A = this chain, B = another copy of it.
Amino acid sequence: AKLWGGRFQKPVTDIVERFTESVSYDKQLYKHDILGSIAHATMLAKQGLISESDRDSIIEGLREIEKRIENGEFHWRADREDVHMNIEAALTDLIGEPAKKLHTARSRNDQTVTDMRLWCRDAIDKIVASMRQLQVSLLRLALNNQDVIVPGYTHLQRAQPVLLQHLLLAYVEEIERDAGRMIDCRARMNFSSLGACALAGTGLPIDRFMTSDALGFTAPMRNSIDAVSGRDHLLELLSANAITAVHLSRLGEEWVLWASEEFGFITPSDSVSTGSSIMPQKKNPDPMELVRGKSGRVIGGLVTLLTVCKGLPHAYNRDLQEDKEPVFDSVRTILGMLEVSAEFALNITFNRERIQKSLPAGFLDATTLADYLVNKGVPFRTSHEIAGKSVALCTSKNCQLLDLSLDELRSINPVFDNDVYEFLGVENSIKKFVSYGSTGSACVAEQLDYWIKKLEIK
């Protein structure tokens, strides 16, 4: 019989039991549930609501249950609905009467929120650690590939030359903000709902500050109705994951492009590639395709919980049971995406020669040419037009800008002089960049130093 069955005369039907149970997935909260129960029991004893010996029995029993769960010896039962009731009922089986006092001044409504907050706090710590690892991998990749110039793209058209290191640091910057969102989310989430009970608090003399401290929370939540109703802490985590997933999908796209025959910038090692069941020559960058693709489910998970919460009246509604699976899946997925991206970064080789050979295509130095003209006093718009015409001339002659003779350049505009050739060609072009945050060598070196220190790379 259910522990809440006092007023009920019939058990729920099988269909309902199967549809409403959550233990099949919320059992992964067991560690945090037990942690919360130990803190709660300790407080109940301190407040004189249960005896010290009851407390000891409870704690010992819970530790035994934890051990059994970890040894795979615990029998999870769907008819006991959820992780909370499974553990409480098992505790009753194990230690008898004292177990019946554990749920004093507590409801599953505050308990489940407490468990999830504890679980998410741990999850965020793992995510941030994985972000740091990816940043370190990217930085190492940068340090191993000094002086490689790659085409910078806008609209996937060749735009200007950039140092490979500069691009890799752009990813590092993105992840830094992603980590910042995680840290903000953690701080806002780290409050205790325990003791809010069903929704109204309790008339029993509990000490919510004590359990809050014991569980490492900043403070108890100020309003018991809010404590059991709110799920914005989960929505914020799912949002932060979704934004991170979008960043990683961009990295995935880029590396998939670079591994293509057509780009040919990188060669992933066999250890991060997979083959085809039918095409013998194939070597595919599957991990990064999946990183790109798995962004879908992280976004989907956010939409799931936003939709679940939309339009619910206060306080707790059973709909909110649906808060767990999207969070579990989102966290597991984002951790995998981060980890495999770091792994991939450590297993690619840049094809320097091939990249080098490809640089002349695409007029990557055209903007530098326009800057040259600005230096000569030509207004930028006019410079842009002159450079544009120079490109058009190259296109008709099928040559590069540095192949144009001074006469040809002067036929477009007389302002050109011999020093123009110091601005043409990718190597010359990249030397010219000087602005803060630009792809100039000194600027990039400064950024590298910043990140080496920040990430404590040795």
Contacts and interface: CB of A to CB of B under 8 A. Distances in A.
A370 interface: yes
Given A8-B283, A246-B235, A199 B159 contact: yes
- What are the 6 A-B residue pairs with the smallest beta carbon separation, nearest first? A6-B388, A201-B438, A293-B319, A300-B304, A203-B432, A4-B275
A56 interface: no
A250 B309 contact: yes
A439 B275 CA distance: 22
27 contacts: A4-B274, A4-B280, A5-B388, A6-B387, A6-B389, A7-B283, A15-B339, A85-B277, A103-B278, A105-B380, A152-B314, A153-B314, A157-B283, A160-B200, A174-B230, A178-B232, A195-B435, A235-B246, A239-B243, A250-B309, A253-B311, A257-B257, A281-B366, A281-B387, A296-B306, A296-B307, A297-B325
A78 interface: no
Interface string A1-37: 0111111111111011011100000000000000000
Contacts of A366: 279-282
Contact of A154 (B161, B243, B276): B276
- Pick from A178, A272, A304, A340 the residue with the most CB of B within 10 Å: A304
Given A170-B229, A242-B306, A435-B195, A281 B109 contact: no
A434 B205 contact: yes
Nearest to A287: B16
B7 A280 contact: yes
Given A232-B178, A239-B242, A395 B292 contact: no
A363 B276 CA distance: 13
Given A203-B368, A221-B437, A297-B326, A154 B282 contact: yes
Contact of A281 (B7, B188, B242, B303): B7
B369 A318 contact: no
Interface string A342-369: 0100010000000000100111001111
A347 to B, nearest CB: 8
Interface SS, A side: helix
A55 interface: no
B284 A154 contact: yes
Number of copies: 4
Given A313-B254, A433-B200, A5 B159 contact: no
A235 B287 CA distance: 24
A260 to B, nearest CB: 5
B152 A225 contact: yes
Interface residues of A, number: 203
A253 B313 CA distance: 6
Interface stretch (A65-73, A117-125, A371-379): A371-379
Contact of A313 (B209, B222, B257): B257
A188 B437 CA distance: 18
Given A226-B170, A437-B220, A158 B261 contact: yes
Interface string A153-180: 1111111111000110110011001101
Contact of A204 (B100, B188, B300, B435): B435
A145 interface: no
Given A160-B198, A276-B154, A299 B310 contact: yes
A160 B199 contact: yes
Contacts of A177: 188, 230, 232-233
A259 interface: yes
A15 to B, nearest CB: 5
B278 A198 contact: yes
A144 interface: no
A290 interface: yes
A49 interface: yes
Given A4-B280, A154-B199, A157-B285, 6 more contacts: A152-B200, A177-B230, A201-B440, A261-B362, A286-B318, A300-B303
